[in-house]
């Protein structure tokens, strides 16, 4: 890895927003290949942050800082990426939200940030989202994945209702469903007909990649 790419990686790992945006601006200005900076610099940093979190060497605040820094860098790089001939990034859209009746937002927001930082086109609907809105947004935006969080046993049934609505609308084959949250589990995902369950934000990124790859995203 050359020095510029190492700097990009370290900026994300260290949660250094100022350095990351400066490096991104340099790449966008033509000092370094934009795709190379994203794939082998900044993305390497966010992957490294996820690995450190899984090893217990990073805690949630550090993981969140790295993800926010990655997002800031991508805001600068994406216009340049779209302008590169033959190099336009085509990211499948992901709809995410906390189900109706549940106002817990922190875990869902971290997943949303991590997905964005890893190159997904994320539409975050927020918390207390009506079941029908997940379906409406997935259909309107031609989304490849719907992610739902629930922190309460009284609201987790809403995840199943969204799956039912997607099936009724004929969207379940086209749209994958990923669920998560404290009271949920792999068994719960299977019970309601969701495609997968994620244990945390890092796992959600890994599972989202697999689901969209399986469905041609």
Q: At what angle do helices 43-54 and 106-117 cross, to 10 degrees?
A: 140
Pinpoint the residues of the chain covered by CATH 3.40.50.280.
93-214
Q: Compute the mean pLDDT over every residue in the chain, rounded to the nearest whole number.
A: 90
Q: Is 126 exposed, middle or buried (0-12, 13-18, 19+ CB in 10 A)?
A: middle
Binned at pLDDT 50, 70 and 90, residue 216 comes out as low
Binned at pLDDT 50, 70 and 90, residue 202 comes out as confident
Between 51 and 148, residue with greater pLDDT: 148
To the question of domain 3-83 being in CATH 1.10.1240.10, the answer is: yes
To the question of domain 93-214 being in CATH 3.90.1150.10, the answer is: no
Residue 93, both tokens: 């859209």
In this predicted model, what pLDDT tens digit does every residue of 50-107 receive, in sequence order? 899 989 999 989 999 999 999 899 889 878 766 653 444 456 899 999 999 999 887 8
Between 19 and 34, residue with greater pLDDT: 19
146 SS3 class: strand
Q: Report how far residue 138's alpha carbon sits from residue 203's, in angstroms, rounded to the nearest whole number.
A: 22
Residue 140, both tokens: 């309107």
Pinpoint the residues of the chain covered by CATH 1.10.1240.10.
3-83
In this predicted model, what pLDDT tens digit does every residue of 203-212 receive, in sequence order? 999 999 999 9
């Amino acid at each position: 890895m050359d020095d510029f790419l190492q700097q990009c990686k370290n900026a994300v790992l260290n949660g250094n927003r100022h350095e990351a945006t400066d490096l991104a601006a340099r790449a966008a200005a033509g000092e370094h290949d934009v795709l190379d900076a994203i794939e082998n610099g900044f993305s390497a940093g966010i992957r490294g942050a996820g690995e450190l979190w899984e090893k217990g060497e990073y805690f949630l605040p550090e993981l969140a800082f790295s993800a926010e820094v990655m997002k800031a860098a991508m805001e600068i790089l994406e216009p340049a990426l779209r302008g590169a001939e033959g190099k336009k990034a085509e990211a499948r859209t992901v709809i995410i939200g906390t189900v109706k009746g549940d106002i817990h937002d922190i875990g869902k927001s971290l997943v949303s940030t991590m997905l964005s930082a890893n190159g997904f086109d994320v539409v975050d609907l927020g918390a207390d989202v009506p079941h029908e809105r997940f379906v409406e947004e997935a259909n309107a935006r031609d989304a490849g994945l719907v992610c739902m969080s629930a922190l309460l046993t009284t609201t987790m049934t809403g995840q199943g209702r969204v799956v039912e609505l997607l099936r009724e609308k004929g969207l379940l084959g086209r749209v994958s469903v990923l669920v998560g949250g404290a009271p949920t589990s792999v068994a719960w995902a299977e019970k309601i007909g969701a495609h997968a369950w994620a244990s945390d934000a890092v796992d959600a990124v890994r599972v989202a990649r697999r689901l969209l790859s399986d469905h041609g995203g």
